[in-house]
Chain A
């Protein structure tokens, strides 16, 4: 438990720094396990309140149960939900058959960029974790994006102790990553410790499969697993050496580096 509390304290500190410094702040919520833990941490940081809107970039290809879960939790917790969608790209028929990186760029990266531009957000809180894949391992807690939303990973600002980059030129924004130090197991241990309601797609409901990582339906495949509870998941993860995102198609080759440099989450 001690190690979870240490992670919690650091994430709460980061969330409070973000809230203090950014007038137009929002949190990305994909309804997956990570961003749901992030949302819970916000309630911890602000004593039951979530003082900024939650953004969902809807690709229209999400698994329907996710949308149901989203609306129910938003209602119960009194969240301010903002849903964005790249309607233009969808109208032009964008889908994963047109290339996975193309599809992610259009519907997620550009969908997010449109939302940021429309609403003028200057700070976006995201639930990315360093252990998910290589480029995320190199992120800062407070990571600047330029006018085009691009990430200059070659020249990241220094981050010293608990002092973060909270000032930025007009027209740019900062991505805030409170979960960088959390591992996949930590996420589940915390869900268990805090009894956080999560979407049941992560559990095996009898057919011997479950989702380990959630994305769009066409590009996310379930894994073989008989984990029917959080305890089962934790136990399974302690014994696996398969990568978490092995069921996420856009990670193949250099997909994530290319996506993230252009502002993917």
Chain B
């Protein structure tokens, strides 16, 4: 056959979805059989097995590989099948329609670029027809055709087809999904699959096979602004390579990049590659690349590289539509791992706004849990700021999964940025960092000279808990060890920098914390380890600590909380010292933490070695 010998020009992943028993596997089998795409003897072999077992042959048996699937006549898990037609290589994913196996359907659909959604003409639009239609939209599969199957069972009647079309289009219209085609077929008898049906002269549209050819390879992602999440940083040889996949836009040699949320900047020096004649000068959407930078900045997996003109959003919270697949229900307030692109961070579900019934898209409010296979609108709050996008603007950085214990238990798309109380300070820090004038000496040059990186040790706690004494002890110990450390005492700021503040302003933490944070930012830029306390803020230490953290970001903050009796420490506290304080023990733990975080080099000398390489 001619189509087999043609060299493919591109690949397209297609998923077949729909309610159980509406004929997905049959359609797939038929598509292969009618285009001569089955290997020799496959059809005969399956037919022979059927005769042996005394059951009627079905095309569905061609791909339901597991014994259990054939015995029960259902598809349990998605199968990838390969199909070449008119110069294109298709991977067609046959997804199960049984609601028990929704997670498998979703796994199949999530990697699809186009979909066929089947509806049984006799049974009409069923529960999973709707759920799958809604989920396709949520998963980002925008091009799909609806296939009305088993037309032979309704006498190929146009009025039946028209009724289903009307009902289903109305349903899809509620979330603005529009099918490319709605095709009447009989998969069992081969009507309108590969060959045009003679039974339905009233239908003038394309066959299933024609509609596949009309699906487009995802267009235009390279024309979007750049999004390249950092996947890893390699130092296998002299090159320090930042590896990642370009999810949108293009990255070129000479581009000035900004990494979010750290706001670090550097210029692309090269795009590295193995087994090429000359190194590429550009990488575009879809490519897995590796870049080197002109400056040795410390960036980590999870940051998103972009150009300064079009930055991703940064916040600790966002609103999202989520589908839940976990064995245990999703609970408000429970901890999950959030994964957005390559960022992995603890999060909690701050609010469950509503559960969406995919049958009629009605909404139910006031629930504290989301059960398996339900769709809900949530607010998610991450432990640290995350770079992301709205899914309407960027696909790959606008979606995420939630991991419960060991398993991916849900997925979703970001619909809205939720402003948090650090927003203004974060924006101040971002603008200030972009405009920051640098000398010739880089951060890493200083680290190499000093034998440590910059950091802040911030001691929080109520009055008379020994914060000042601990801070002084730490400063003294670090300097005695040959490190460059400085005690930043809030009291010293009050009489100078803060002298212009009114009594009222001094009573509130906000402006004082902002100034305090900016001073700390200056000091850490000199390469110092700043040791400080929240003393000037009284009991508002939690708020002040958060503001300081935002302003010095991404410098490591070692947060130490002191209290006389056990109490709740502010979020993100690293070390808790409660009860009668053993200052030696406290100092040791803080030094250990500084080493663990890669601040202190292992030894001081001409060539310091750090815990991890940068």
A residues at B contact (CB < 8 Å): 2-3, 5-10, 12-13, 16-17, 19-20, 43-49, 51, 130-131, 133-135, 137-138, 140, 153-154, 156-163, 165, 167-169, 180-181, 183, 186, 194, 238-239, 241-243, 254, 257
Contacts and interface: CB of A to CB of B under 8 A. Distances in A.
Interface string B31-58: 0000010111110000000000000000
Nearest to A195: B275
Interface stretch (B237-245, B258-266, B575-583): B237-245
Contacts of A3: 8-11, 89
DSSP class of B's interface residues: helix, strand, loop or mixed? mixed
A158 B325 contact: yes
Q: Of residues A6, A16, A138, A154, which shows the largest number of chain B Cβ atoms within 10 Å of its Cβ?
A: A138
A19 B301 CA distance: 13
A154 B76 contact: yes
5 contacts: A6-B286, A47-B272, A140-B107, A161-B399, A242-B39
B80 A181 contact: yes
Contacts of B215: none
Contacts of A7: 11
A243 B107 contact: no
Nearest to A159: B107
Interface in B205-251: 231-232, 234, 236-237, 239, 241, 243, 245
Nearest to B76: A154
Contacts of A162: 245, 341, 396
B401 interface: yes
A21 B404 CA distance: 17
B232 A16 contact: yes
Given A16-B243, A49-B236, A158-B103, A167 B403 contact: yes
B245 A9 contact: yes
Interface stretch (B18-26, B61-69, B347-355): B61-69
Contact of B40 (A46, A180, A238, A241): A241
Contact of B106 (A6, A10, A160, A242): A160
A160 B408 contact: yes
B78 interface: yes
Q: Of residues A159, A169, A194, which shows the largest number of chain B Cβ atoms within 10 Å of its Cβ?
A: A159
Contact of A130 (B42, B82, B104, B106): B82
Given A2-B10, A160-B408, A161-B110, A134 B63 contact: yes
Contacts of A169: 406
A5 B408 CA distance: 28
A194 B275 contact: yes
| Chain B interface bracket (under 10, 10 to 19, 20 to 34, 35 or more) | 35 or more
A7 B401 CA distance: 24
B106 A158 contact: yes
B449 interface: no
Interface string B336-347: 010101000000
B407 interface: yes
Nearest to A142: B408
Contacts of B325: 158
Contact of B10 (A6, A45, A180): A6
B588 interface: no
Contacts of B359: none
Given A158-B106, A165-B408, A47 B40 contact: no
Contact of B9 (A2, A13, A49): A2
B30 to A, nearest CB: 17
A158 B65 contact: no
A48 B288 contact: no
Given A47-B234, A158-B103, A158-B106, A13 B411 contact: no
A1 to B, nearest CB: 9
Q: Of residues B234, B272, B301, B341, which shows the largest number of chain A Cβ atoms within 10 Å of its Cβ?
A: B234
A254 B76 CA distance: 17
A181 B275 contact: no
B497 interface: no
A241 B232 CA distance: 42
Given A9-B288, A47-B237, A159-B107, 10 more contacts: A6-B11, A20-B301, A49-B236, A138-B77, A154-B68, A158-B103, A158-B409, A181-B11, A241-B40, A243-B39
B332 to A, nearest CB: 22
Nearest to A10: B288
Given A16-B232, A162-B396, A43 B401 contact: no
Contacts of B66: 134-135, 138, 153, 257
B247 to A, nearest CB: 9
